[in-house]
Structure 1
Amino acid sequence: NGLMVPVVRHAEARDPYDTALEIARVSGAAKDGSAKRDELSGSTITITSLGTLGGVVHTPIINHPEVAIVGPNKIEERVVVRNGQMVVRKMMNLSSSFDHRIVDGHDAAVFVQRIKGLLEHPATLWMG
């Protein structure tokens, strides 16, 4: 049936738990063929992931007419330097593509840094 991209409406107003429930609902509807047209159209950004398949980096392609796509990759243990010491930390590459006709590069970088901050400190998701 081709690419089906389930849409979570008003994601900015949802808490993480409600967002997860809605993703499960619309994804299930897309997979079983019961999704309505409005559940598969009208989105502005896609989140895609190759991490579950072991991907460590990819170049996601924007799904027109969206303006961006963000793709988390596989979380791996890596050696990093913290306070002058070599330590093992869980790390992940975050791939992204933005339509620069619509999104300024600086704004895109700020957005990616915000995602990075939320992933590094997930408790801040609940701190309004």
Structure 2
Amino acid sequence: VKYICEPLKEKGFMPGRDVFVAYSPERVLPGNILHELIHNNRILGGVSEESCRIIKDYYKLFVEGDIELTDANTAEMCKLTENAYRDVNIAFANEMAKMCQAAGINAWEVQKLCNKHPRVNILSPGPGVGGHCIA
């Protein structure tokens, strides 16, 4: 948001007063975009309370999930945190699979058995981290 607001200020526009700027992290699964856009909860961060109000009123036209309001920087940090969390979990699954392979253990069985614990959700090992919203 900083990189959008600074040039606006340089041109004499005050974000949150003259121009209303907001950020909403992308939280959709490719192939299911419309459903998730409508039904998933959303984080909306504005550079001012008025920016938040305007973007929330717009999102309420099509979002059925909960809408959480915050400032724009916090909303951006939420997206970075979500991506890092997913990246770490993918890396963990892949490292576990490499250790299992080295020890002659079936990684898929380890995953299946560990995931029987109610607070464990090890992802499936795969080719690594990627995708349009993480990479």
Q: Same fold (TM over 0.5)?
A: no
Which one has the largest radius of gyration? 2
Band the TM-score falls in, shorter-chain normalisation: under 0.3
**Higher strand residue share:** 1
**Higher helix residue share:** 2
TM-score scaled by length of structure 1:
0.24
